[in-house]
Structure 1
Amino acid sequence: MTRAHLDKQPQDVAAMFDDVAAKYDRTNDVLSLGQARLWRRAVADAVGAVAGQRILDLGAGTGTSSLPFLEAGADVVPCDFSIGMLTEGKNRHPELALTAGDATRLPFADESFDAVTISFALRNVQDHEAAMREMLRVTKPGGKVVICEFSTPTWTPFRTVYTEYLMRALPPVATKVSSNPEAYVYLAESIRSWPDQPALAAELQQAGWTKVAWRNLTGGIVALHRGFKAP
């Protein structure tokens, strides 16, 4: 079985997600203790898609995260670079326009989307700062970005418990429910090495996004970052 490492070689990351595609959504629900669905709803609310808008959902995997935008009447483009995830998604959701693409070299024209969102996938991009610049490029002036990603718990005692869960409890649980438990060792490692909320906000600003802010979910286990492209 394939797992990625913290150098995040694209071929390794893609192969790892190909391996876990069939059970990915179910595994996430189990490992997040059901919070994953609440986080997806928070993303949909933050994007606030309406009929007639065009939304880019990066790192969309099987397309589960794209469904709220479709239900809102928006034209949603789910994009991912794991062919295995896209294939699984097409089997489940043939109504979605699933598209293969690399977040650092998006196959879309400048100023194509009213909003761009990425959930639990920016952390897996080798050059996530380049991805932030690409997201800005394809967003219309006045449009927004919403990033949902694992982050740093705000309460220090809980942060310690959470870190222990990631490194000790998560891999054994993943062994029971995932088709590739090693992928969840990478998950734990990548979460621990990811920038905290202020650091990610600063990177968004450096990429050119304005009015950058964030909101913590589940005590900071997850954070929603938002920014706008200048009109």
Structure 2
Amino acid sequence: MSRATLARDPDEVTRMFDEAAGHYDRTNTLLSGGQDRLWRARARAALALRPGERCLDIACGTGVSTAELARSGAAVVGIDRSPGMVARGAARSLDLRVGDALALPFETAAFDAVTIMFGLRNVVDPGAALREMARVTRPGGRLVVCEFSHPTWAPFRTVYLRYLMGGLPRIADLVSSNPDAYTYLSETIRAWHDQRSLAALIREAGWQRVCWRNLTGGIVALHRALAPARQPGPEESDGDGDGREHGKQQAESAV
């Protein structure tokens, strides 16, 4: 499938998520077999937040991920382009705001850490979003991208793709308030970067020490990176490569 599948009008995507907000969290848990909770917990652990730090949770949806991050004791701000999602999370005691990942309404170096969980592939320009995330992160601050990826074992990958194309849309028809959103979900997962190419995209956006860790056989990957100590000049490069964590080993520099 071509990456053209990812080319969707951002306002159309926002409306789609507004309509899906009603049953969004329950549907995600059903479709993932409860693994979504594990994935969020692993993202929180990868960020290694400490009490008193400031963290930005981009594409926060109804605030489920923001609440998970706040368990660390950090001050967490959630932001999402969908007013419907943010309104759905209003009952939670969280700082949730409507905003665009491509134009974050925060000062430069305002956060110690930034994360985006299952939202980067929905941004019209992921590279620009990653650069904007770097802008609002302090020098040496942390990034974690938790996103669907590509299973690494071929037989499992085949079964997973069959589920994406057949099982997932059928389940969504039964439980979702907007089944079309999950057809879109399936299409974008299949068209999205694999682990290595997403690491390259993060590095190209100016982040350093990029590495990743597979979860659930590669259905999801956690990519980690650090903001540079200073912004490189127009002719400078950080020269860092990407690495992959595997057990206690990792390639090159080190979710």
Query: Structure 2 length as normaliser, TM-score?
Result: 0.87
Corresponding residue for 1:206?
Answer: 204
Aligned AA (1:71): R
CA contact (8 A) 1:8 1:125 kept: no
Give 2:94's match in structure 1, choosing from 93, 96, 100: 96
Corresponding residue for 1:111?
Answer: 109
Aligned AA (1:121): G
- Separation of aligned partners in 1, 2:72 and 2:168: 34
Corresponding residue for 1:43?
Answer: 43
Corresponding residue for 1:74?
Answer: 74
Corresponding residue for 1:19?
Answer: 19
- Separation of aligned partners in 2, 1:143 and 1:179: 38
Aligned AA (2:19): D
Tell me by how many angstroms 1:134 deviates: 0.3
Tell me by how many angstroms 1:49 deviates: 1.0
- Separation of aligned partners in 2, 1:147 and 1:180: 26
- Separation of aligned partners in 1, 2:27 and 2:102: 27
Q: Which moved more, 1:65-74 or 1:203-212?
A: 65-74
Aligned AA (1:168): G
Aligned AA (1:122): L
Tell me by how many angstroms 1:230 deviates: 1.6
Give 1:228's match in structure 2, choosing from 226, 229, 248: 226
Q: Once superposed, what is the RMSD of the aligned Cα atoms? A: 0.9
Residue identity over aligned pairs, in percent, reads: 55
Point out the structure with the larger helix share.
1
Question: Over residues 104-134 of structure 1, what are the superposed CA-to-partner deviations in whole Å (9 max), with x where a residue is unaligned?
Answer: 1111110000000000000100101100000
Query: Structure 1 length as normaliser, TM-score?
Result: 0.96
Corresponding residue for 1:219?
Answer: 217
Aligned AA (1:42): R
Tell me by how many angstroms 1:69 deviates: 2.6
Corresponding residue for 2:236?
Answer: none
Does residue 134 of the first structure (1) align with residue 132 of the second (2)? yes
Tell me by how many angstroms 1:97 deviates: 1.0
- Separation of aligned partners in 1, 2:123 and 2:210: 21
CA contact (8 A) 2:44 2:68 kept: yes
- Separation of aligned partners in 2, 1:71 and 1:37: 13
- The DSSP-based 3-state class of the residue aligned with 2:201 is helix
- The DSSP-based 3-state class of the residue aligned with 1:37 is helix
CA contact (8 A) 2:6 2:121 kept: no
Corresponding residue for 1:10?
Answer: 10
Question: Over residues 167-206 of structure 1, what are the superposed CA-to-partner deviations in whole Å (9 max), with x where a residue is unaligned?
Answer: 0111011011101111111000000000100000000110
- Separation of aligned partners in 1, 2:225 and 2:8: 25
Aligned AA (2:26): R
Aligned AA (1:156): A
Corresponding residue for 2:164?
Answer: 166
User: Which runs of structure 1 show a deviation greater than 4 angstroms over 4 or more consecutive aligned residues?
Assistant: none
- The DSSP-based 3-state class of the residue aligned with 1:19 is helix
> Tell me, which stretches of 5 or more residues in structure 2 are unaligned?
230-255
Matched positions, count:
225
- The DSSP-based 3-state class of the residue aligned with 2:140 is strand
Larger radius of gyration: 2
Corresponding residue for 2:179?
Answer: 181
- The DSSP-based 3-state class of the residue aligned with 2:89 is helix
- The DSSP-based 3-state class of the residue aligned with 1:141 is strand
> Tell me, which stretches of 5 or more residues in structure 1 are unaligned?
none
